[in-house]
């Protein structure tokens, strides 16, 4: 009997072109008051890369992250996989780019953990069974299985951070964007977060001030200052360039 | 710290806890409506209503006086009805002259006042029973299933979620002020009243700004996860035959109560 293959259903929202998950070209953005927050940013991420985004406060890291799924719209080119960011693609791109905000109290806005993790899949229009499977999977991935019915405001900071990550993992994104994930964590919670990020098999862009974290987890590092990308390269090399680090207000761990 | 202040839910496995939340909300509203419709001085019906609440307390395994103990917090609000004593025509009980006012207390007015206090006190107990036996998220879903406008339910959900965050924010502001409210020996600390009022004013302003900025960030977090203007949910509430039974039983009880009250008085 011949084997029949079902038409493969695309598991992901966006197809990759040349293995690139994200391409940013010549992105410039100024706030309504005229302050230029991003100045001709170029950045490309390949599938599977884990990249750190560092720089002093006000360098434009968070502003850049808000562009990656179209919350803010600057002038320039931004593609996720092969898809250019525009009104038509924005829903697909939001499913492909999982953005986790710094403060989990902003990220977790539903009364229960389950509802928060289900929010993304539900709004992607998935059927109920699929939503439940994805919620369970995402909670298991961050080691929080069985927390579904808990109330968000009863969780500890470390737990909230993990749930925050689960809320975007449930959308099965191709790029995970985290804003200062280790801020405000005690050493134990920080350690378990590092292990979690190391084990997640997914492309990542992580903004942080935690240089020890950068050295430990991210082979590639991008330095931003005053709205520009001032360095982009191997972490081991950049972390030894003390002149560069000091010039942009950073410290060798 | 703040859990005990706002979370009124009591963990339990009783019949009342397991009832469908939608039915509980309906029964609560019906009972409150019934209380409000009882005529002045219908002591028998009011007493039976209270008996019903006590029974529900026992069914929920909260101890018979649970709602009674918690209900006193709402009593001062019922005092707003105190004007009824002096504003209804009837037999004069006593008169007071306070400054330019000449107050005449009448028997009809007093009866009305006492009835209002008892009615509101009973209604508060029913509401306390509802929140003590229903998890807040379930309550939200019940409202949704009872066709309350979506946006209203969403607003209540956000209120519930961020009440805790905001109280923490207020606590931090207050602590920061306290830590710097110092004084020197022999020096009267605290500043003038208008200065203190200004400080309080800017604290409220701060709180507003922080909340406003937070709402922006929350909206961004919602957009990032595909929010397109309306909430979606998986929750479904099936009505069991026991739920229908309870609903019918409540309706019947209320009918009997009202008939009793309006015929016998």
pLDDT, one tens digit per residue, over B98-150 is 888 888 888 888 899 999 999 999 999 999 999 888 888 888 888 888 888 88
* Least trusted range by pLDDT, from A2-16, A121-135, B173-187: A2-16
pLDDT, one tens digit per residue, over B149-179 is 888 988 888 888 888 888 888 888 888 888 8
Give domain status of residue A252, yes or no.
no
Residue found under tokens 């979506």: B150
pLDDT of residue A13: 64
pLDDT of residue B179: 80
Region A43-63: mean pLDDT is 94
| Domain boundaries, position A133 | 20-247
Give domain status of residue A125, yes or no.
yes
User: Residue B136 and residue A109: Cβ atoms within 8 Å?
Assistant: no
How many structural domains is chain A composed of?
Answer: 1
Region A176-192: mean pLDDT is 93
Region A94-104: mean pLDDT is 92
Q: Quote the Cα angle for A185-A187-A193, to 5°.
A: 65
Enumerate residues 212 to 251 of chain B having a beta carbon within 8 A of any beta carbon in chain A: 214, 217-218, 220-228, 232-234
Cα B141 from Cα B143, distance rounded (Å): 5
pLDDT tier, B198 (very low <50, low <70, confident <90, very high otherwise): confident
- Mean residue pLDDT of chain A comes to 90
pLDDT, one tens digit per residue, over B74-93 is 788 888 888 888 888 888 88
pLDDT, one tens digit per residue, over A218-236 is 999 999 999 999 999 999 9
* From B3, B165, B225, residue closest to A123, measured CB to CB: B225
Region A60-67: mean pLDDT is 94
- Most confidently predicted of A5-14, A119-128, A160-169: A160-169
Shortest distance, CA A198 to any CA of chain B (angstroms): 23
User: Residue B224 and residue A132: Cβ atoms within 8 Å?
Assistant: no
Cα B78 to Cα A213, B81, B116, B126: the distances in Å are 59, 6, 7, 16
pLDDT of residue B7: 62
pLDDT of residue B171: 87
Give domain status of residue A121, yes or no.
yes
The answer to whether the Cα torsion of B249, B250, B252, B253 is positive or negative is: positive
Q: What is the DSSP string of A86-119?
A: STTTHHHHHHHEEEE-S-HHHH--SSBHHHHHHH
Shortest distance, CA A252 to any CA of chain B (angstroms): 32
Contacts of A71 in chain B (CB under 8 A): 220, 223-224
Q: Classify the complex by whether its ipTM is higher than 0.85, answering yes or no.
A: no
* Least trusted range by pLDDT, from A17-21, A37-41, B125-129: A17-21
Q: State whether residue A221 is helix, strand or coil.
A: strand
Region A128-132: mean pLDDT is 92
CATH of the domain at A39: 3.40.50.300
Cα A240 from Cα A228, distance rounded (Å): 21
pLDDT of residue B3: 47
Return all residues near A170 (Cβ < 8 A) that are at least 6 apart.
A117, A118, A120, A121, A134, A135, A137, A138
Radius of gyration of chain A (CA): 19
Cα A211 from Cα B159, distance rounded (Å): 38
Region A129-140: mean pLDDT is 94
pLDDT of B222 over the 70 cut:
yes
* From B161, B222, B228, residue closest to A111, measured CB to CB: B161
pLDDT of B229 over the 90 cut:
no
Question: CB neighbours (10 Å) of residue A155?
Answer: 18
Calculate what percentage of chain B has a pLDDT beyond 90. 15
Q: Of B16, B239, B264, nearest to B131 (Cα)?
A: B16
pLDDT tier, A79 (very low <50, low <70, confident <90, very high otherwise): very high
pLDDT of residue B2: 46
Which tokens hold the place of B120? 């509101």
B137 touching A (Cβ < 8 Å):
yes
User: Residue B214 and residue A106: Cβ atoms within 8 Å?
Assistant: yes
Give domain status of residue A13, yes or no.
no
pLDDT of residue B6: 56
The answer to whether the Cα torsion of A163, A164, A167, A168 is positive or negative is: negative
Calculate what percentage of chain A has a pLDDT beyond 90. 72
pLDDT of B95 over the 90 cut:
no
pLDDT of residue B265: 58
Ordered by start, the domain boundaries in chain B are: 3-145+240-263, 153-179+194-224
User: Residue B160 and residue A111: Cβ atoms within 8 Å?
Assistant: yes
């Amino acid at each position: 009997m011949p084997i029949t293959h079902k038409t493969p259903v695309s598991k992901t929202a966006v197809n990759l072109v040349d293995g690139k998950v994200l391409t940013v070209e010549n992105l410039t953005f100024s706030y309504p008051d005229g302050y230029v927050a991003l100045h001709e940013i170029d950045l490309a991420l390949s599938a599977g890369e884990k990249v750190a985004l560092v720089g002093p406060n006000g360098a434009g890291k968070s502003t850049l992250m808000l562009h990656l799924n179209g919350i803010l719209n600057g002038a320039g080119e931004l593609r996720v996989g092969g898809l250019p960011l525009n009104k038509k693609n924005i829903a697909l791109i939001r499913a492909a780019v999982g953005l986790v905000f710094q403060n989990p109290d902003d990220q977790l806005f539903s009364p229960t953990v389950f509802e928060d993790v289900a929010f993304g899949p539900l709004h992607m229009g998935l059927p109920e069974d699929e939503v439940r499977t994805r919620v369970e999977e995402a909670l298991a991935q961050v080691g929080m299985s069985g927390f579904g019915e808990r109330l968000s405001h009863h969780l500890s900071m470390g737990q909230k951070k993990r749930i925050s990550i689960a809320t975007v993992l449930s959308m099965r994104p191709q790029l995970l964007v985290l804003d200062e994930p280790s801020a405000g964590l005690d050493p134990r919670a920080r350690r378990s977060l590092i292990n979690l990020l190391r084990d997640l098999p997914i492309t990542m862009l992580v903004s942080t001030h935690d240089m020890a974290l950068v050295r430990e987890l991210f082979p590639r590092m991008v330095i931003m200052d005053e709205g520009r990308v001032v360095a982009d390269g191997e972490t081991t090399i950049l972390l030894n360039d003390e002149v560069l680090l000091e010039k942009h207000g950073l410290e060798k761990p | 710290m703040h859990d005990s202040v706002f979370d009124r839910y009591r963990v339990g496995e009783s019949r009342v806890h397991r009832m469908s939340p939608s039915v509980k909300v309906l029964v609560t509203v019906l009972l409150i409506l019934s209380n409000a419709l009882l005529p002045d001085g219908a002591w028998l019906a009011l007493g039976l209503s209270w008996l019903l609440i006590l029974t529900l307390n026992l069914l929920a395994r909260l101890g018979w006086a649970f709602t009674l103990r918690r209900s006193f917090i709402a009593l001062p609000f019922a005092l707003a009805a105190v004007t009824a004593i002096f504003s209804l025509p009837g037999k004069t009980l006593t008169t007071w002259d306070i400054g330019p006012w000449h107050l005449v207390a009448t028997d009809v007015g007093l009866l009305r006042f006492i009835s209002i206090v008892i009615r509101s006190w009973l209604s508060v107990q029913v509401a306390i029973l509802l929140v003590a036996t229903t998890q807040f998220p379930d309550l939200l879903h019940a409202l949704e299933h009872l066709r309350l406008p979506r946006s209203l339910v969403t607003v209540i959900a956000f209120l519930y979620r961020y009440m805790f965050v905001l109280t923490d924010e207020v606590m931090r502001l207050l602590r920061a002020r306290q830590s710097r409210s110092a004084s020197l020996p022999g020096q009267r600390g605290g500043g003038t009243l208008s200065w203190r009022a200004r400080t309080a004013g800017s604290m409220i302003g701060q709180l507003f700004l922080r909340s406003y900025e937070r709402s922006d960030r929350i909206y961004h977090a919602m957009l990032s996860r595909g929010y397109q203007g309306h909430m979606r949910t998986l929750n479904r509430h099936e009505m069991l035959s026991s739920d229908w039974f309870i609903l019918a039983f409540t309706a019947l009880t209320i009918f009997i109560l009202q008939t009793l009250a309006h015929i016998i008085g």
